[in-house]
Amino acid sequence: MKKCRFCDSSAIVRLPYANLSLCGEHFKGYYIGRIRRVLDKHKIHGEVLVATSGGKDSMALLHALSEISKVDDRANFTAFHINLGIFDYSRKSEEIVREFSKKLGVVLIVYDLKKEIGYTIPELIRVSKRPPCAVCGIVKRWVLNKVAYECGFDYLATGHNIDDISTILLKALLSQDMYTILRMQSEFSPPRNDIKLVGKIRPQFYLSEMENRLYAELNKIPVIGEDCPLSKGATLHKYRSLWDHILKTNPVSQINFIRSILKLREQMAAFKQPTHLCKKCEFPTESETELCAFCRLIDSAGKRNTETLGLVS
């Protein structure tokens, strides 16, 4: 085993993209430094709502932000968890987030989907023609922005990692899904108060799932130890395995791929941010129709329930 770049201890991890071998303590410092640099780069300050699912990415992010806040008080971080109503998986996730937030001394807001909108994710999936992960994504994006905006937060922080982003973009590129390429957000997007859109920050945008997992393990951070039962069979998993082979050839391929897509997108005149509000919920939408995807989903659920009761012939 190689020595750590910064001390005589044995390295526990090798980061090929950075040509770094690090011991546990220096890896933790390196990781927090990567998070801090994103906050510094985009001058993040004020009130930040941190989306915390209970998975390794978001839990590692919450811990790192909590550590940063101990020596830098320019931003206040509040944890936010959505109980999606996905059977025992959601119950376990909420318990983990509650206990960990309490341990860190971080304020936590819990949003129960069934209580707030009347439907769980499994119920919405049954009335939608979209894949389960697509339905979940629509709901989470809408809820996160709505709560962050209405509660007066300046930014929303999410745990998207480079494996997530690169896989979504690779799938979109290989399937000619230009919409996803055009709308995919980068590590930072500024607030748009004119259309009720809060600022977004993704501090782990260029950090890998492996790095997030290792940081969580080194800090003994509790995480939900199972995959979402509704994500089984998702086609995205098949595209993700392609990166294992590509990275063996070029360790910086993911970083270069994402940066290339973002640079190309800057030159595409067709790219437009949301410019109008949904006529029903009055939150931003890119849809050319008068209703956003979330409201169309909820309307479909309501119509299906009415038909089930025999009220519509």
pLDDT of 96-130, one tens digit each?
A: 999 999 999 999 999 999 999 999 999 999 999 99
Mean pLDDT, residues 235-252: 88
**Distance separating alpha carbons of residues 235 and 167, to the nearest angstrom:** 11
CA nearest neighbour of 133 among 37, 208, 234: 234
Tens of pLDDT, residue by residue over 219-240, are 999 999 899 999 887 778 788 8
Helix (H) or strand (E) holding 214: helix 209-218
CB 49 within 8 A of CB 58: no
Tokens in use for 55? 């998975």
Query: Which amino acid is it at 110?
Result: V
Q: Tokens 């500024």 identify what position?
A: 190
User: Phi/psi zone of residue 55: left (φ > 0), alpha (ψ -120 to 50 degrees), beta?
Assistant: beta
**Tokens describing residue 262:** 């973002």
CB contact at 8 A, 1 and 195? no
| pLDDT per position as a tens digit, 11-35 | 999 999 999 999 999 999 999 999 9
Dihedral over alpha carbons 274, 276, 279, 283 (to 10 degrees): 50
C-alpha–C-alpha distance, residues 59 and 214, integer Å: 12
SS3 200: strand
Task: State the Cα–Cα distance between residues 214 and 217, nearest whole angstrom.
Answer: 5
Instruction: Pull the structure tokens for residue 246.
Output: 């590509």
- Three-state DSSP state, 236: helix
Could you give the CA distance from residue 9 to residue 30 in angstroms, rounded to a whole number? 15
Question: For all residues of the chain together, what is the average pLDDT?
Answer: 92
pTM recorded for the entire structure: 0.90
> Please, are residues 65 and 50 in contact by the beta-carbon 8 Å criterion?
yes
Question: What pLDDT sits at residue 290?
Answer: 84
Binned at pLDDT 50, 70 and 90, residue 307 comes out as low
Q: Which domains does the chain have, with CATH numbers?
A: 1-31 (no CATH), 42-207+217-274 (3.40.50.620)
Q: Torsion over CA of 24, 29, 32 and 33, rounded to 10 degrees?
A: -140
Burial of 287 (0-12, 13-18, 19+ CB in 10 A): middle
